[in-house]
Amino acid sequence: MNVKLSSDNYRFSTMRSVHFATAEDKKPAGTHASDRDQVTISHQGRDRLEIMADKMEEQFNAMTKEEFMDMLKKWQSENQVQLEVDPRRKVDPDGSISNKTYFESYLGQLKEQEETIRNYYADAYKEAVSAPVDSLEFISAKYLQDWSKYYDVSIPARERQWTYFQLRAMLTGSNIALNDPYALASVGGAKTVDEMDAIARQAVKDKLDALIKEHEALV
């Protein structure tokens, strides 16, 4: 069996032919056989590759294929090199499933927060819509104008401001703020970017793990 060490790097342009000894008749180093299979191993050129190849050539010539594989496995184990293809590549070769799952999870979390906030202000929203005056005038009077007959003194100042701005957004069709500490208090507050990212990444892992199991079940 022939092994050719070649490189595309200009620093290592020579070609070496190395021959594995047969298991039945292990020949001395330097023996060449014409009837053995040939395998080409390409290496990226490195400064020391030329010297390494010189030292390895004689060793390979006196080595059986089985001995070479044992050596390769030992080197892999010692250096913790994973030669196996990432199993996720089998079920998501172009990353499209991962990307879709990530963004669906991330956007889903934002949507969930939005729904929680809208539900929190649902009663206040209905009150504003059915108010005897213009809805925007009503929320301004109730939450901002302390001289108004509609003003609610029972609500803390900071919470009144949040309520006003969230209701105004809901009434005008604008985007509500998703970091509302009062509306999201019941669910532990607003998630940070890092928290949502971690959840989205876990969703990707769970999705690919499930696909890998399905794939392995069909093999």
**What pLDDT is recorded for position 104?**
93
Please give the Cα distance from 16 to 22 (Å, whole number).
Answer: 19
Q: Look at 137 and 40; give whichever has higher pLDDT.
A: 137
Please give the Cα distance from 212 to 218 (Å, whole number).
Answer: 10
The chain-wide mean pLDDT, for the chain, equals 76
Residue 172 has pLDDT above 60, yes or no: yes
> Is residue 216 classed exposed, middle or buried when 0-12, 13-18 and 19+ CB atoms within 10 A define those classes?
exposed
Output DSSP code: residue 155. Answer: S
Q: Look at 83 and 79; give whichever has higher pLDDT.
A: 79
Asked if residues 105 and 205 have their Cβ atoms less than 8 Å apart, the reply is no
- CA-derived radius of gyration, the chain: 34
**What pLDDT is recorded for position 22?**
56
Does the pTM exceed 0.95?
Answer: no
* N-to-C CA span, the chain: 31
Which amino acid belongs to residue 191? K
Q: Which two tokens stand for residue 129?
A: 């819509």
**What pLDDT is recorded for position 76?**
56
| Partners of residue 19 on adjacent β-strands | 2
| Partners of residue 43 on adjacent β-strands | 7
DSSP string, 32-73: --SSS-EEEEEE---TTHHHHHHHHHHHHHT-BHHHHHHHHH
Please give the Cα distance from 8 to 28 (Å, whole number).
Answer: 31
Asked if residues 216 and 99 have their Cβ atoms less than 8 Å apart, the reply is no
Overall average pLDDT of the 32-36 stretch: 44
Lowest mean pLDDT segment, chosen from 1-10, 26-35, 94-103 = 1-10
**What pLDDT is recorded for position 85?**
53
Overall average pLDDT of the 134-144 stretch: 97
Share of the chain above pLDDT 90, in %: 49
Please give the Cα distance from 85 to 93 (Å, whole number).
Answer: 11
> Helices 157-172 and 122-129: crossing angle, nearest 10°?
60
Asked if residues 178 and 113 have their Cβ atoms less than 8 Å apart, the reply is yes
Q: Look at 86 and 7; give whichever has higher pLDDT.
A: 86
